[in-house]
Amino acid sequence: MPSTKSVRVFAPATVANVACGFDVLGFAIHGLGDYVTARFVDQGGLGIESITGDGGRLPKETSKNTAGLAALALLKKAGKESGANIQLSIEKNMPLGSGLGSSAASSAAAVVAVNELIGKPFSVQELLPFAVEGEMAASGSAHADNVAAALFGGFILVKTHNPPDVISLPTPSKLHCTIIHPSIEIQTRNSRMILKKDVLLEKAVTQWANLGALVAGLYTEDYELISRSLHDEIIEPVRSILIPGFADMKQAAIDAGALGCSISGSGPSIFALSISKKEAESIGNSMGSVLKKIGLEYHTHVSEINTTGAHVVKA
Amino acid sequence: MPSTKSVRVFAPATVANVACGFDVLGFAIHGLGDYVTARFVDQGGLGIESITGDGGRLPKETSKNTAGLAALALLKKAGKESGANIQLSIEKNMPLGSGLGSSAASSAAAVVAVNELIGKPFSVQELLPFAVEGEMAASGSAHADNVAAALFGGFILVKTHNPPDVISLPTPSKLHCTIIHPSIEIQTRNSRMILKKDVLLEKAVTQWANLGALVAGLYTEDYELISRSLHDEIIEPVRSILIPGFADMKQAAIDAGALGCSISGSGPSIFALSISKKEAESIGNSMGSVLKKIGLEYHTHVSEINTTGAHVVKA
């Protein structure tokens, strides 16, 4: 017998790629994210009864919605595909197409909510493949970087995406993140299409040296090493073309003390890491003044690294 | 005033690349390596008075020899280029062109010996750029992976080669290494030439995911993760063509319990990692029987990871 009638879950926004870790690295932040409420109803199987905060743009059909697909995958594995009558309410609490893992947050929140509602047949670790299935609907391919970070919190390295093999990396305690979200929208599919299929071996070597060094920097809490490693010579030069003012914002962030700065996921949001809230705020102001000059609206957000991930909240 | 008249130094053989870490990762082993003795003489500047174990193949001119060039770079930086009258004796104690960092061992031993002889003006860390200069003469490009591992011991990640920025990674205590050296010779220059200049982005992503995971596995002493990460989809498929029986040897190593198996440096030596001396020996036997079948002579060598690196030994 289910122990509750309704479960509400928050899952955080996430920064994927993290400069040198294209498609394999992500971390979660605080203060931005989605809520999914799952509740038992009398009949009708799995459905989505409401979506707010999306401007009416997300599909309500379970089989087309990331949260719906993720919940379906879970129920199928639990052997309750047809037997569970559950309605989901999705509260989008961050902009769509922002590069902050919007669809991943909904997928992660949905699987945690439904799992809790049906009596926790799965551990949090076991929920990941279901959330990845939901994420596939949004990005067109199975990627676990945002979704694993949203689910588990902290820094996540994705060794393989499908089936997911992910590693939780340590989070240096001083790390703060600044996000700036210019008011333009980039679809992950499009942002992926513009990437070249080949890269120079020489640049690939530089990239994996940096990623290895970044992982070492996270384990040793070596902020200087983290800073020296936060470079992306492969993806950023291509994708940044889609982001007005990118080079100037990045320079402004570095000048204001950022350890590093790059595109969050497929953009247009940009993230910068630093070692204090004060610096993180100053970085946000510096990046913002670049966008002010070119007359583009934006939001900034400052957060520590979120090491909690998706979790049940009071209804 | 110099405190000694003669210093003898051992520097170990090294395994570079380590499957997923092409050009950026290396580790040192025990039992194979080179000795360099440096001694003061009355006149003549820096010279090489003897080289043994090379079959007469290495140049004795200081400016063409890896150990000589490394020592020259050191003396130049110390401001003693013309004032120091030093003769080097080089004892090659491992095969040339084996993929075990033969030139790197000589470079590393030379800089430690000369530094010690002239009263230690430099820390071991400061010696790396000099050893890299020597290594350039052998490989045709500045690579610090073998040379840093020979100098410092343990696992070394090279973030940048020139100037070198290297990170000492932890060495899981159970790790053992098996080396098999088939009696053929591959020149690093040639082994580098056959590589393609471009790689598929998809394969590069897999490679940096594996390298990141391997670094995490070393920090957490997670042998299963280390094993899952020891794959090379980019370099090994190309270079292994030059090594008779490679695929069968690799399979034999895995079947005998190896965590992973790949080419050591540019080959033809192959390394396998495992978690006990017994397994490491059994892996050596299994790989050896492959070469026996095809009638190729070989040597095997079993060692723990050498975490000491280059060091002074009694004359």
DSSP single-letter state for residue B240: G
Nearest to A209 among B24, B229, B234 (CB): B24
Closest CA to A245 of A270, A282, A279: A270
> Is B232 contained in some domain?
yes
Same domain, B184 and B220: yes
> Is A40 contained in some domain?
yes
B77: three-class secondary structure by DSSP: helix
> Is B1 contained in some domain?
no
Q: Is A102 left (phi over 0), alpha (psi -120 to 50) or beta?
A: alpha
**Structural domain that includes position B225:** 176-304
Alpha-carbon distances of B213 from A102, A211, B41, B169, rounded to whole Å: 26, 10, 50, 13
Residues 6+ apart with CB under 8 A from B254: B260, B261
Domains: count for chain B? 2
Calpha distance A96→B73 (Å, rounded): 57
Calpha distance A240→B62 (Å, rounded): 49
Nearest to B21 among A169, A212, A225 (CB): A212
Same domain, A287 and A270: yes
- The number of residues in chain B equals 315
A3: pLDDT strictly greater than 60:
no
A17: three-class secondary structure by DSSP: coil
Each residue of A95-120: pLDDT tens digit? 888 899 999 999 999 999 999 999 99
> Is A1 contained in some domain?
no
Query: B209–A159: do the CB atoms touch at under 8 Å?
Result: yes
> Is B246 contained in some domain?
yes
Cα angle B100, B102, B104; round to 5: 105
> Is B282 contained in some domain?
yes
Provide the shortest C-alpha distance from residue A56 to chain B (in Å). 35
Same domain, A159 and A300: no
B167: pLDDT strictly greater than 50:
yes
Strand partners, A7: A38
Q: Which among A25, A165, A201, A230 is the top mutation candidate for probing chain B, defined by the most B β-carbons within 10 Å of its own β-carbon? A: A201
Cα angle B292, B297, B303; round to 5: 95
Chain B residue nearest residue A210, CA to CA: B159
Chain B residue nearest residue A200, CA to CA: B198
What pLDDT score was predicted for residue A1?
Answer: 44
| Residues of B with a known catalytic role | 135, 188
Each residue of A206-256: pLDDT tens digit? 999 999 999 999 999 999 999 999 999 999 999 999 999 999 999 999 999
> Is A93 contained in some domain?
yes
Q: Which ranges of chain A does DSSP label H, i.e. alpha helix? A: 66-77, 102-117, 124-139, 145-152, 188-193, 201-220, 223-229, 236-239, 246-255, 277-293
Same domain, A60 and A165: yes
Same domain, A149 and A189: no
Q: Summarize the confidence of residues A64-70 as an average pLDDT.
A: 94
Per CB-CB distance under 8 Å, the chain B contacts of A169 are 216
Same domain, B121 and B181: no
A315: pLDDT strictly greater than 70:
no
Q: What is the dihedral of CA A193, A198, A204, A207, to 10 degrees?
A: -10
H or E stretch including B81?
Answer: none
What is the distance between the terminal CA atoms of chain B, rounded to a whole angstrom? 20
Same domain, A186 and A299: yes
Calpha distance A35→A10 (Å, rounded): 4
Query: B215–A216: do the CB atoms touch at under 8 Å?
Result: yes
Same domain, A183 and A166: no
Same domain, B84 and B138: yes
Under the banding of pLDDT at 50, 70 and 90, the label for residue B1 is very low
Q: Lowest mean pLDDT: which of A58-62, A79-83, A179-183, B8-12? A: A79-83
CB A181 within 8 A of CB A244: no
Nearest to B157 among A21, A23, A212 (CB): A212
Same domain, B24 and B166: yes
Under the banding of pLDDT at 50, 70 and 90, the label for residue B315 is low
* Residue whose entry in the numeric block shows the structure tokens 């391997």: B214
Q: Which residue has the higher pLDDT, B255 or A142?
A: B255
Residue A258 belongs to a domain with what CATH number?
Answer: 3.30.70.890
What is the distance between the terminal CA atoms of chain A, rounded to a whole angstrom? 20
Query: B198–A198: do the CB atoms touch at under 8 Å?
Result: yes
Q: In this structure, what token pair is assigned to residue A93? A: 């609490």
Each residue of B175-198: pLDDT tens digit? 999 999 999 887 777 777 889 999
CB B287 within 8 A of CB B180: yes
B286: pLDDT strictly greater than 60:
yes
Per CB-CB distance under 8 Å, the chain A contacts of B209 are 23-24, 157-160
Each residue of B22-53: pLDDT tens digit? 999 999 999 999 999 999 999 999 999 999 99
Same domain, B139 and B194: no
Provide the shortest C-alpha distance from residue B206 to chain A (in Å). 8
What pLDDT score was predicted for residue B310?
Answer: 98
The number of beta carbons lying within 10 Å of the beta carbon of residue B275 is 18
* Residue whose entry in the numeric block shows the structure tokens 């902020």: A223
Each residue of B199-236: pLDDT tens digit? 999 999 999 999 999 999 999 999 999 999 999 999 99
Average pLDDT, chain A: 93
Calpha distance B139→B148 (Å, rounded): 15
DSSP single-letter state for residue B170: P
What pLDDT score was predicted for residue A4?
Answer: 63
Where are the extended beta strands (E) located within chain B?
6-16, 25-40, 46-52, 86-91, 155-160, 165-169, 176-182, 198-200, 260-263, 270-274, 298-304, 311-313
Same domain, B90 and B185: no
The one-letter amino acid at A240: S
B2: pLDDT strictly greater than 60:
no
Each residue of A275-314: pLDDT tens digit? 999 999 999 999 999 999 999 999 999 999 999 999 999 8
What pLDDT score was predicted for residue B137?
Answer: 74
> Is A44 contained in some domain?
yes
Strand partners, B10: B35, B311
Residue B49 belongs to a domain with what CATH number?
Answer: 3.30.230.10
* Residue whose entry in the numeric block shows the structure tokens 């040296």: A209
Query: A228–B159: do the CB atoms touch at under 8 Å?
Result: yes
